[in-house]
């Protein structure tokens, strides 16, 4: 099984301006072609975390979706991030996983952040998703999902857990702590990508994007509140060897997840 090169991009976001954000990320992608397999962007990377999907949501196959597929093909790397999409008569906070060969996977945020009113504007997802990419089993999650470990319990069915977020600075400690906890309890790599800067509502974001290995050690720490574009290689042999030597997952409690 091959290793996987993962790139975290932590940056500010233009408020409610999808073209400006897409243009920004195209600039930030410079130099990544041939040097990474997977590029992770923040939650709602085209708009910032907003409760106005009625005027800003795109169709599921809209301009940003096509842009992600184009970028993935050009970079020969998967491009991952969340955006708001219109589904039927409702809206979803949807994480898209665009691959270089034109495949498009998606995960709809299961746990909506009620303290911000997200549940009043979006529909919750009802599917636990695992994406197979370049020999790695990857589970996508979005922001508030991080606080609910039962939903993401590893059933020996994934190797990398991804969280994209707009996680405010006052709650940075839970963000950092829980990302490391998810790596420990699930014996997997965990990538968490957050934004920086201040949004139009006055909320500040500290970044703190992390790449955590299966022992809970930090491989990338974006706790500088600055632009971060950083790539690390996930070691497949080391992960498999650790799981073989310490197979705690075999003693996990069995349960049925009812959504």
Question: What is the structure's pLDDT at 49?
Answer: 98
Q: Comparing C-alpha atoms, which of 44, 37, 34 is closest to residue 64?
A: 44
pLDDT in tens, 186-243: 999 999 999 999 999 999 999 999 999 999 999 999 998 999 999 999 999 999 999 9
In which element (H, E) is residue 115 found?
none
CB-based contact 212:180 (threshold 8 Å): yes
In which element (H, E) is residue 177 found?
helix 172-186
Q: Compute the chain's Rg from CA coordinates.
A: 17
Mean pLDDT of 103-124: 98
In which element (H, E) is residue 141 found?
strand 136-142
Instruction: State yes or no: pLDDT of 181 exceeds 90.
Output: yes
CA distance 23 to 199: 18
CB-based contact 189:8 (threshold 8 Å): no
Phi, psi of 252 (to 5 degrees): -70, 150
39's tokens:
């590029």
How many CB atoms are closer than 10 A to CB 82? 28
Cα dist from 164 to 89, 190, 191, 193, 242, whole Å: 25, 11, 8, 5, 26
CB-based contact 197:207 (threshold 8 Å): no
CB-based contact 104:72 (threshold 8 Å): no
Q: What angle do CA 246, 252, 256 make, to 5 degrees?
A: 150
The larger pLDDT score, comparing residue 141 to residue 253, is at: 141
Instruction: State yes or no: pLDDT of 1 exceeds 70.
Output: no
Tell me the catalytic residues.
43, 109, 143
Q: Go through the chain and tell me how many residues it has.
A: 259
**How do strand 38-40 and strand 58-59 relate by DSSP bridges?**
unpaired
pLDDT in tens, 126-169: 999 999 999 999 999 999 999 999 999 999 999 999 999 999 99
pLDDT in tens, 36-95: 999 999 999 999 999 999 999 999 999 999 999 999 999 999 999 999 999 999 999 999
Q: Which residues are CB-contacts of 248 (< 8 A; sequence separation ≥ 6)?
A: 187
Domains and CATH numbers, the chain: 4-248 (3.60.110.10)
Residue with tokens 């184009």: 70
CA distance 12 to 66: 22
């Amino acid at each position: 099984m091959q290793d996987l090169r993962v790139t975290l991009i932590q940056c500010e976001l233009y408020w409610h301006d999808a073209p400006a954000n897409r243009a920004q990320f195209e600039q930030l992608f410079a130099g990544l072609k041939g040097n990474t397999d997977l590029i992770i962007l923040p939650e709602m990377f085209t708009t910032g975390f907003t409760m106005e999907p009625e005027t800003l949501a795109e169709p599921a196959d809209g301009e940003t979706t096509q842009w992600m597929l184009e970028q993935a093909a050009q970079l020969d790397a998967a491009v991952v991030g969340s955006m708001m999409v219109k589904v039927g008569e409702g809206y979803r906070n949807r994480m898209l996983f665009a691959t270089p060969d034109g495949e498009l996977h998606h995960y709809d945020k299961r746990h909506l952040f009620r303290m911000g009113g997200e549940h009043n504007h979006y529909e919750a997802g009802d599917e636990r998703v695992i994406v197979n990419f370049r020999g790695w089993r990857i589970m996508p999650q979005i922001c508030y999902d991080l606080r609910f470990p039962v939903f993401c319990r590893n059933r020996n069915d994934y190797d990398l857990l991804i969280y994209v977020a707009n996680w405010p600075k006052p709650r940075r400690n839970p963000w950092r702590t829980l990302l490391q906890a998810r790596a420990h309890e699930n014996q997997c790599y965990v990538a968490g990508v957050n934004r920086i800067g201040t949004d139009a509502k006055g909320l500040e974001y500290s970044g703190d994007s992390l790449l955590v290995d299966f022992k809970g050690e930090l491989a990338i720490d974006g706790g500088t509140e600055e632009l971060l574009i950083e790539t690390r290689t996930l070691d497949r042999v080391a992960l498999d060897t650790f799981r073989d030597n310490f197979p705690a997952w075999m003693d996990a409690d069995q349960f049925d997840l009812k959504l």
